[in-house]
Structures are given as C-alpha cells and as structure tokens.
Structure 1
C-alpha cells in the first residue's frame, strides 16, 4: 500500500521546490527598518549593545494591537523582528540558581531569570558544562526556557501535573519508560521526527548520507511550556472528566501569557563541541535495547528554536523561530549534506489541480514577491521535482528519500536587516567576542493570521504575508510536508492510514477568527501558512471544520488523550520503521 500526502486545491503552498521555477515582481515598500515609530512599542526599538548586556534581560512587553491597514501598518515587520530578538535574549539568559547541589534535585528556580547574570554569560561555549558538579546530575547553568515544564511533566502518563514548577525536580514519566531522577537532565529529547513527517540527519562522513540513515547524526526535538501554561493546565486537569473546552492564558480570567518552546538538537562530535559555535548541553535521549526503551545521556548542540507566545491582541500565538547558521553550510563554506527521510512516498493534489501541472506559492520578502513552482503530484522522486540524493540507500518500504534539505527563498528584508543590526550590536557589546549566540539568526516571525497574497502584481501586498510560509530548516524540512505549508490537516481515509494537507482557499479547515480579539474584523476564517497554519489545526476539542469554531489554543500538546491521562510515549533514537510509520497520524489528524 502506498503511503501518501494529498494536497488540496490551488495550493498556494505545501512545499517549495527549488528557485529554478520562480518569477519575481518588485513591490513598493519603504525601508525594512523604519526609524519612525508609529505606535508606542518599546520592543520594536533598535537593538543596541546595552540590550544585550542588560542584567537581567527583560521580557519585552506585548506589542500593541495591529491595525490591519496594508497601506499604513502601525507596526512594521522590522519592529516585530526586534521584538523576536528581545524574546530570544530573555529566554536564553541564565536561569536563577537556588543553591541546591544534590543528585536528582533541581539546582535552579524553574522559569525564573537570574537577576545577577545576563545574555552574555550564557553565550560562553562551556556555559552548561561549567555548571556541572560531582554531586548532581544537573548543571546549575541552564537557560531560562530549558527549565520550563517538559511536555511529559505537563502531561505525565497516568497522573496529573504535579507541584509548583519553580521548585519541581525534573520528572519524566512516559507510557513506555520512566526516567530515574538521578539519570534525568533538563533537556529531554523525546521526539525523533518533525511532527511525524520525516526524520532529519547530518551525514557522519562528509556530506553523503550513509547507506542506512540511522548510522548518521540525527536531529532530535523537545517541547516545553512556561509556568503560566503549566499552572493553567494543572488547575483545570481532570482525567476522569476532561473539560469540554479550554482557552490558554491570557483568557477572560487569567491575564498571564502562555509560552511554548520547541527546540531542535543535533548529535555532536568532539570537533563540533570544540568549535564554540553551538549552545551545547547534556541531554536525555532514548534507545531501544533488548526490547525495552532505555534512557541515555549525551552532549547535543542546539540547532533550532521556536518560541511561541500568546498575548493580548495576539490570541493565535506569535511564532518566532531561530536557527544555528551551520546547518546547510559549514563555516568553511562546504555543504553539510543535511537530508531528510520522509515517512511517506506519495503526494497527490485534488481535482482542482489538473494532472501534470504545478501549483505555486507566493513569497513576500517585503521588497519583492516571488512565485515559486511546487512539485508535481505522484511519487516522491527526482522526476517530480524533489532533490533526491542519488546512490544506494536503505529506505524502508513506504518511505522516501534521502532528500536534500534546501532553504526556500522565504527570507524577508526586515529580518535580514535586523539580524545584521544585532550582529553589529554584538560586535560592540562586551562579552560577545566568542559568544555562541553570534552563530544564531532569526528566521522569521508570524504575528497574526492572514490569507496569502493573491498575486505578484505590483499592488500593495498585505504586510502580514511577510513570513507567511515561516519554516525552520531543521524543524520544518520536508518537501513535501511542512516547508511552505499552508492550510489545515485531516485524515480522509483512516482505513488506508493516509493523511491530507488541506490547502484550498476557503475550506473551513484552519483558523476560525470571527469574534476573536486581535483578528481582522468581518472575517470568518483565514487559510494561514507556515507555523501558524499548521498550529491552526491544534484545537481542543478538535472540531470537524463545519460545526463551529474551536477554541484558539493552537497547541499540539493538548488533546483528548493528554487531557485524559494518557500522556506521551518517548521516541527511540533507533525506532523501527513500523513504529515510525504510525507517527504519520500522531499530530496531523482531527
């Protein structure tokens, strides 16, 4: 049986092909970095060296409401990009120590920033390692977000979330394994796929994949939530009678802000650790040995970071994502060979796309718009537009690849300019001469849902379509799948175990916005792309797209299973193709 993706409609975006089939038209746009603040928004001000060494680094206040006027936006994309960087600076600052140095006990005040240290301190290449002692399995040098609640603490298998997160010792309870307190680490890499669509690897020898991908260096993932979201779930949790609906803070009674962080980590070699270009940390990961899931510990390097923050006037979360700069090209300009193996081998479009024709995506950089042709339907192969790496490889039946990871031309002028602004600030700020943070860049930011630009003709584009197809190359790499993705997700043929990426404009498939503060007025729904488009499917309870709006929780962590006590299962580093095949439907079904 074939395992496939079905792409619906005119599909202005499932995934990018290459830039060889593109058409670009200029747009009339002001400079990407405006010096004229049109609204009181301190978080959007120019980033200066003083911002990098503020002690402690403040969390930027929520942006004001956006006015949705494409001809006169009150907040520019550059201002939002600076806001994204200020969040990165805050959450990647050191967490506050609590003075405890004992096996199995947390050495930090979880979720709290250290009032005496700053972002420069956490940029030391040995930051994590220098906090290790003989008495504890935990480093006392943690980033703020690393101390948030892991998804297995938010939803432990078989029990409710426990205690006060600030003082809680890390405890990881899964369906298939419990981690001993003395074996735990704050970084717990329990996810081995990009939301069930593919696995991603760095070749261990040069830039050519090994015959068996499991012999190469995999990227693993974890998801965490801040104390506000943790406390809210704890307050409403009832496994015997899950709530009929929920709304993450801020909501009508709780003004706090929910924050979720997803991080991507690569297996490290001694040379990469010694390079001083990565934030590294000891992390727990999982392997199958003798028929059982076993917890292991190794040093990993941070390569990707999503920060999701739900705020007043921004109820669909604001999505920001950062990458370490060496994923596609090494510091000496060599190709790394980064590749994916997809957990499917077919892609189909619906009848609105005539056979043999290519749909397309419209990318708005802020200074130009580009029409990008997408792959043909059918087999995931070179003939249909996928960069399949030639050679003899062991690819499980029903999977496809190895496929070279490419960076689609989605970058915006504003983000490029703000990244340069931050680099200049780092060059002038004390303590950043050898900081690992020099080697991380903002990829983009999505602030509010909108529909895709309708054409590339030189009329004023919607400013919100900058970063419309937001994707991180180490978190959303698959072509097809979740790079240049647009729409919602459902499974039309459960008996065949196929899943569908819904992308036809007007289908009631994702962000229902009517009546929600911060969304455009007189709009019932939008078909959003990228991170926000994918998360638009994450409702609780998930409706079928026709019976009415679901709550805007937009979190893949929350579903009937987790709210009923089922918890999560830890993914194994060497998981079998049979188990991996099941993951296609783990996140992407109603």
Structure 2
C-alpha cells in the first residue's frame, strides 16, 4: 500500500495539503478494512442466553469450560454472585449434556425427553471397575486407539466389580446391555465397601447408607474418554504402574477442558442409586434403570438381586482451564430429605423419618453379632442448607422441565464449588484460621464446604477441632489434646486488635469439602506384595482424583491393600 501511494504522488504534482488528504483517505480505508475483518466476539453459548436467568433452550452441548469472557468481565466488575451463577448454570448444562439420550453411535436425541432414542450420554463411558480391575490387570480399554474409547458398548463382567466380591452370574450378564442395566456392588460412596468386607468399615473410611425402605444405597463411578486415555498412557490403572510412574518422577496432571472444545477435560461422575419398591415409591419421580446388585443376605453371605434403581445423587467433577482444582457440581433427587405432605400425602422422604424428630442424625449403621446389618434406616440430615440463590435457580429450571414433562424436574443442584484464585497455593496447615481450613487445597474455592447427602452423609460433623479440617502431617498427633486458643472461632476475632494464635484445637464448623478432600489424594509410591505394606504420595499429587489410591490393585497377586496412616487421617478429617 505504501509503494502505491508513493508512486501516485511521484507521478502527479500534488500540493502538501493534497498529499495529507490522500494519506488520510487511504488510512481511513485501512481502518474500515481492519474493522470489517476484525473478528467479532463469539456469542455466548445458548445456555447463557438469558443470563443470569436460566435459558429454557436446552442443548446436548458439553463445553469444556465456563465462558471465560463472561467470567472475566464479571470479575472485573466485582459481580462475584453472578460469577457463581455462571458456574451454577454451567453445572446444569453439564447435567443435561451427560443425561441427554444418545444412541450407540454417539448421536444425541432431538430433545431431552426423547428417552426412546437411547440411554444417557454417560452410559457410553467406562465404569471405573473396568479400568481399575480387582486383579490389577491391564484393562481392555488401554489396548484400543484413543478414539475407540469414546463409545463403550461392551463391558467385561467376568470379573468382580469390586475387590472381594464374586462375579455376577452368567445368567445375569449374558446378552446384558451395559447401557441399560447397572451392575452394582459398592455400598459406600467413599472407598470399596461391599458385601464381602462390611466387617471392616474403618478401611473404607465410611459406612453404608440405608434408605427408609431398609435398603443399601449403591454407588458407581464413570470416567470420561480423556481421563481413561491419560490413565492408560501412564499405566496408572494398577499399583505397579503407579509405583513406576512415581519413581520415574512422573506427576499426575489430567487433561483440562477449554470452552472452545466440547467434551474436553477430565471428568469423573459418581452416582448414588436407591432400590425402588412397588407400593412404597413413586417411580415417576426418579430417573430409573434396571440393575443387578450384590447384597448382603440375611446370613451375611453375598446375594445377587435383580431390581429397579432410582438415581438419588450425582456428582460431576470436571477439570478445566479456569479451574485446575476442578469444578465440583453436585445434584440430588428432590425427595431425599423433605416432601410436601399436602401436595403429596402418600410420599415419604428417601432418607428421613419425619415421624422421629429425636432420631440421631448421620450416624453409621451398626451390625449385629453375626456381622449382619439389620437394615435400620439412616436418619440423614443436611448440615449446610441449599443456598437461596441455588433454590431460585432450581425453581426456574424445574418449572421449565415440568413444562417439558421431563423426569429431571425432580432433581436439584445443591451447589457448585470452584476456585476463585486458581494460582493461590495451599495455606500452611499450622498457619492459623481461617485459611488453614478454607484454603487447604489452594485456589481459594467457593463455597468452602459442599456436601451431597447421599455421598457425604457421615462427614457432616459440625463443630470440631480445627485440626480435623487441616492437612496435618503424619507426625502431628495432638489433634484434640493441645490447648485451644481461642477456644471458639469467630470471624470477629480478626478485628480484636491482637494476634490470633493458630488455633489447632480451636472449635470451628466443618463438614465436607470436595476440593479439600480430593486434594489429599495421591498415588502409590511403594508396595510390598507379600505384606501389603505401602506408601503413597502426599497432598496435591493425585490431581484431585481418589480413583488411583482407592481403586487400584496390584497386578500379579498380592496381599490386600490398606491405605497408609496419613491417608486414613486425611479422609477422617474430612
């Protein structure tokens, strides 16, 4: 352009004013051209079309992250409640995408209610037991091309779904469609508690949840293709591979999602399933599916049962570029703890006996002398109420789903946890309150505490010594015995004008924190196959996934594994 202008000026006798005018005119054309070619900001995804309200235009899209442009703009304006709303809407969008009916070729149905089109999208993912096999064997998924793990249409059920259990019978597994039938054996949301090891709850970190019908709640974990491919590529599916990985200097760093690539980023799903009974439960208020479960019989032996189960809890854990501490979204069925007896006089809560106002809440069930649980229902209680902004958003979502006639109208978002400052390092465990508890995992997450009543029932402790919520090292044994100063934590202590001591035994309120709990996860660094003695890496070495530490087995035969003391304490403190 410059040479053209110069040539024109050289070939013609033009005054200084004319030269300036010519240059100005050409510059103006250039600006217009630049403006015309400058890319416009991408429109927000459809689920944010009515932001901050819920948009009833539902799609099966699973963005790899929240809309970063919107998040950045809101943060600059210091509209932090609206940033939370963005993450909450993202949670609902993930929920819809994962539960969207999808055929065996991965094509989504025309609408969320087209259930005859196919099972939910997540049923095309690998079950955790298929990757972390009880015998530590290399999973079949690791012998496939990466793209082949996008559509899982078969499941090898010749092996148990959990260590110690018997395989399901051939009669139950023959010609079984893993997309439409759940095969369940784990009865604790944390650890591998099942009908074969109910006598050792301490090793499982928690106990079974028993509903008001006297039935165990069953749990399963699904893993998305990106995470499966990462686990296979690094041989992290068994203890042998983890030890070699750690000794080779490897650091677990799962793939993260970006908003430009749908379905990108590691994702883990945890489901809580309740056995439904004719005449006692309203099946229309649950997402239901057929299931084969391994139960504890009246004699304590394993018992295989064919049942219908209803979904009562769903965790979504997703790693993204904005959230290296992961995004944690948790949902429940609306009748878990409360019902409207006027509108539904025959309906009862799933996990609460309203006729027993003095029943002890969130207490582990007790087995009898024969080692059998008498199936006395758990009286569940929510320590942290669902926030008001979540209730308002849920009401919008449920009204829209009601108009569609979707069963998902009977589900609610409890909350979404995400890091407000992803680069913030974890606070020192003995550095004082509140950070030693609230920022244990780094990232300064919000909300600080997050629980799902079906999965963290027994971790909702309330007031405790602060050290129970801190990442205390294995050498610290003074929790609950050292002097507590100040004796009770209150935010106003920060304004008293004198230093506040660390307060390791100061009483503070604590329940469960997704990031706090999962930050304690690591991988095996050593293992003795003769004795089962082992060590695991420390905090923030498992990239917020407990799968490797809790579900991996040793390949080649080995003594049963038990978590090392440090891991037991980390989980107990949650």
TM-score by length of 1: 0.58
Report if aligned partners of 1:80, 1:445 keep a CA contact under 8 Å in 2.
yes
Report if aligned partners of 1:284, 1:295 keep a CA contact under 8 Å in 2.
yes
Report if aligned partners of 1:188, 1:283 keep a CA contact under 8 Å in 2.
yes
Matched, 1:303 2:288: no
Aligned to 2:504: none
Matched, 1:414 2:389: yes
Distance 1:202 1:453, change over 3 A: same
Alignment of 1:353-392 (within 5 A): 388=360
How far apart, in 2, do the equivalents of 1:285 and 1:534 lie?
28
**Bigger helix share:** 2
Matched, 1:161 2:132: no
| Gap runs ≥5 in structure 1 | 1-37, 98-108, 128-139, 205-215, 341-381, 456-462, 506-526, 570-578
Q: CA deviation at 1:228?
A: 1.2
How far apart, in 2, do the equivalents of 1:568 and 1:40 lie?
55
Aligned to 2:517: 534
Deviation string, structure 1 residues 399-444 (Cα, Å, up to 9, x no partner): 999762122343223212211221233355xxx23x2111111111
Aligned to 1:151: 128
Q: CA deviation at 1:118?
A: 2.4
Distance 1:293 1:466, change over 3 A: same
How far apart, in 1, do the equivalents of 2:434 and 2:295 lie?
47
Decide which of 212, 226, 235 is 1:203's aligned counterpart: 212
Matched, 1:191 2:168: no
Give the match's secondary structure for 2:458: coil
**Count of residues in correspondence between the two structures:** 414
Give the match's secondary structure for 2:385: coil
Distance 1:409 1:115, change over 3 A: closer
Report if aligned partners of 1:321, 1:472 keep a CA contact under 8 Å in 2.
yes
Q: Name the Cα RMSD after superposition.
A: 5.1
| Gap runs ≥5 in structure 2 | 1-40, 142-147, 191-204, 422-426, 436-442, 486-509, 527-533
Aligned to 2:256: 250
Matched, 1:260 2:268: yes
Matched, 1:448 2:454: no
Report if aligned partners of 2:102, 2:109 keep a CA contact under 8 Å in 1.
no
Give the match's secondary structure for 1:306: strand
Decide which of 114, 119, 129 is 2:112's aligned counterpart: 119
**Bigger strand share:** 1
Aligned to 1:437: 408
Aligned to 2:439: none
Give the match's secondary structure for 1:266: strand
Distance 1:528 1:314, change over 3 A: farther
Aligned to 1:338: 351
Q: CA deviation at 1:487?
A: 3.4
How far apart, in 1, do the equivalents of 2:433 and 2:391 lie?
21
TM-score by length of 2: 0.59
Distance 1:403 1:560, change over 3 A: closer
Alignment of 1:128-139 (within 5 A): none
How far apart, in 1, do the equivalents of 2:87 and 2:270 lie?
20
Report if aligned partners of 2:56, 2:397 keep a CA contact under 8 Å in 1.
no
How far apart, in 2, do the equivalents of 1:311 and 1:168 lie?
27
How far apart, in 1, do the equivalents of 2:316 and 2:206 lie?
21
Distance 1:408 1:227, change over 3 A: same
Aligned to 1:477: 457
Aligned to 2:469: 487
Report if aligned partners of 1:45, 1:82 keep a CA contact under 8 Å in 2.
no
Report if aligned partners of 2:521, 2:539 keep a CA contact under 8 Å in 1.
no
Q: CA deviation at 1:40?
A: 7.5
How far apart, in 2, do the equivalents of 1:251 and 1:41 lie?
17
How far apart, in 2, do the equivalents of 1:155 and 1:331 lie?
42
